[in-house]
Amino acid sequence: MKKAFSLFLCISCFSISMHAQWIWDRNKLEEIKKEIHSFTYANAYRQLIDDAEKAMEAPFYSVTFKQKAAPGKDPHDYVSLSRYFWPDPRKENGLPYIYRDGESNPELENYDRIPLGEMAGNVTTLSLAWYYSGEERYARKAVKLLRVWFLDKKTRMNPNLNYAQFVPGTQGDSGRPSGLIDSYSFVTMLNAVKLLEGSRSYTAQDRSGLEKWFSCFAAWWQNSDLGKVERTQGNNHGTTYDMQLTVFLLFCGDTVTARQLINEFPARRLYKQIQPDGSQPRELHRTLAFHYSVYNLQFFVDMCAIARNQGIELCKATSPDGRNVCKAVDFLTPYLGKDVSAWPYKQISGWEDSLQALCKQLYRMADIAPSREDYLKLYKQYSKQGLNDRNRLLYGAPDPIRDAFSYVDKQLKYASLCTDSIISTSPKKGAVIPRCLNKDGSLRLVNPADWCSGFFPGSLWMAYHYTKDDALKELAIRYTEPVKKAKDHVFSHDTGFKVFCSSGNAYKETRSDEYREVVLKAAHSLASRYNPHLKVIRSWDFNRHKWQYPVIIDNMMNLELLFEASLLTGDKTFYDIANAHATTTLENHFRTDYSSWHVVDYDTISGKARLKQTHQGYDDSSAWARGQSWALYGFAMSYRYTKNKKYLRQAQHIAEFIFTHPNLPSDFIPYWDFNDPKIPDSPRDASAACICASALYEMATYDSNRKEQYVTWADRILASLLQNYLVEEGKDKGFLLLHSVGNMPSKDEIDVPISYADYYFLEALLRRDSL
């Protein structure tokens, strides 16, 4: 037996404090707490607080509240019905109940299993919410729930599971050994209760009362007939028996018996349940073989975490023929990313959910077995964990912004290769900058005169800013070079888009006089389109038969070029032009609800607005989504340079319009137009979402009262984009985001990747990272 396994004790450097955790790592929780408002954890934290608020409204639970009497007549006994047993319709009294595989009997709700789960879940949620927020009211409610279920004489549960998963009419209505799994939610709950030790609401009396209760419960587990039978099980039931009992013993202070269970675990569970090839035969015979293999693996990982927090490296325990926890993991990982047909055993449903359950364990194993760097790599490759997933708060998580830029680095380089391929095989004169994908999936390149020409080089500069990858800098220089000629484009209001997004970002990174001069020349070109009588910059020169002096809401974005030129030169003329344009736009471009028209045409003689229309929205009265985002961003940016509070107020009103609109989807990626009658069967516009997110992060730095709201809205956008809108690496010609809309009325660029979506996505990521 001594040669069967080897455990590595670290007792000399390990001490168990009063705040020790078992499944969770307290040091990790403290690290997370310090970073709780970072983008890595903020979404999960907000979800936790939302869940806690719901738990605050939940009722108290007690086994004495059950609708049906306990078989033993003591209302304090826990009772649960075996899920798939139903009354026998051939019998007047329905007894004994008969088995109907896969059909849950609704009588389950008449007993205690659901209340137990809800009580334990709410205690866990509230305890975590208290720990991370410091709000004592969460702790108070958690403690009251514990008192009602475990401590109050009138309502407390007897410390046994004598009637767990009973089948009416059989075995004297006594419980079954498998019923011991009902209390597994106590394991997580007790880890959360340990966090309450720093709370005023959790008294010494509460603590001693709970410890006494679980001491009695642990004794029942060890001495009852049901417990003795369950202990002999050779599958996940045996594993969960050891897991639960270990935690109960640790909670009530019996570390000697708990450590004995841990030390016996390899020989009794791991080496008997795991084969040398890593398979778990007792789980593979099930119709959900992959699910149950992962399910049992979770308990192995839980036990490894408990052992490590006791100074025992259980994950290193290995039998002479190579059986260990890592082997069990390695048996399953080859099926990640594959169809269920690749799995040689039965898995009749839930394949994708089971793969994601495995990913969760991979992340934990990467921490428990740090030498296995491949586990974290596999997790990052295949996990679809949402940014609001609570596991992030329990076990930590990779920085999604760092991971995003790692992806961006590869994708932008691929985009350049795709561009080179087109230029070399089917060149179009002057077309050298990626703009979007065509309907057929081909790459559309444009020349420097195109209003989108500055976005791809700008994206390269922002990616370089984060990664400091010199290869990206070289590409940024290369793609900025041809767009520099746009500095002389007096025919375009989009000089800001073209030059400031490219050479402007280049100047920020390099402080090169060359880029500075390009920016200044472009500012002069843009200023030449200003009409001092109308106090606005002309947008378009076409359709002169229709418009006298058209100004589009998009033009707010180009003011940044003028404001920056004023700062660079000290020439107030640029500032005055930009400020005047913003003021005139504020006065004429908005409806009473703060939505914006796309086009306002001015009478060149009277100076008044003569037409208010759309060119790219659904109709003249609709709120074109990207137009609203241009307005939001434009006025937030104008406040940055002027500190004129009316601009900030305008941005605030626009934000309220957008983010309280009934047609805004729950993921905050808007439909291309808020008033399209085809909603919800209408295309989304990720580009509008990106522009909004970037603007909101800027606004959060200006308004402390609304900061939390703005960051929350923007975080939801970024989370949605990262989880559901990213292009698969190495696909779609190197673009970053799917599902943008360019010009719906012209039926062009509908539901495709577009360069300006990528640009403002990167800017939003950088702004979030700097908060």
Which tokens is 512 given?
């090169």
Non-local CB neighbours of 510 within 8 Å, separated by 6+ positions: none
What is the 3-state secondary structure of 250-296?
HHCCCHHHHHHHHHHHHHHHHHHHCCCCCCCHHHHCCCEHHHHHHHH
Q: First CA to last CA across the chain, in angstroms?
A: 56
Dist. CA 538–CA 528, nearest whole Å:
9
Distance (Å, rounded) from C-alpha 291 to C-alpha 287? 9
List the one residue out of 415, 405, 456, 455 whose CA is nearest residue 732. 415
Of 112, 302, 554, 673, the catalytic one is: 554
CA 240 to chain centre: 30
Please name which of 598, 560, 596 lies closest in space to residue 581, comparing C-alpha atoms: 560
β-bridge partners, 599: 552, 613
Residues 6+ apart with CB under 8 A from 279: 293, 331
- Residue 450 assigned ligand-binding role: no
Q: Which residues lie below 8 Å from residue 708, measured CB to CB, with a gap of 6+?
A: none
Please indicate if the annotation marks 746 as binding a ligand: yes
- 461: amino acid identity, one letter: W
Does 339 show up as a binding residue in the annotation?
no
| Residue 374 bears catalytic tag | no
Asked if residue 585 belongs to a known ligand binding site, the reply is no
Rg (CA), the chain: 32
Q: What b-and-e string marks burial along 686-723, b requiring 16 or more CB atoms within 10 Å of the CB? A: bbbbbbbbbbbbbbbebbeebbebbbebbbbbbbbbbb
Contacts of 260 (CB under 8 A, 6+ apart): none
Kind plus residue range of the DSSP H or E element containing 436: strand 433-437
Question: Any catalytic annotation for residue 403?
Answer: no
Residue 173 annotated as part of some ligand binding site = no
* Identified catalytic residue from 182, 494, 715, 758: 494
> Residue 190, class by beta-carbon neighbours within 10 Å (0-12 exposed, 13-18 middle, 19+ buried)?
buried
Annotated binding residue 630: yes
Q: Which of 515, 470, 464 has its CA nearest to residue 762?
A: 464
What is the rounded (10 degree) CA torsion for 365, 370, 373, 376?
40
Dihedral of CA atoms 500, 502, 506, 512 in degrees, nearest 10, equals -70
The enclosing H or E element of 166 equals: strand 163-166
The DSSP secondary-structure symbol of 504 reads I
- Sign for the pseudo-dihedral over CA of 273, 276, 278, 281: negative
3-state secondary structure of 351: helix
Tokens describing residue 423: 């230029």
Residues 452, 500 contacting (CB under 8 angstroms):
no
**Tokens 């086009």 found at:** 599
Angle at 46 between CA 44 and CA 52, to 5 degrees: 105
Give me the active site residues, please: 494, 554
Indicate the annotated binding residues for substrate: 494, 554, 614, 626, 630, 746
Indicate the annotated binding residues: 494, 554, 614, 626, 630, 746
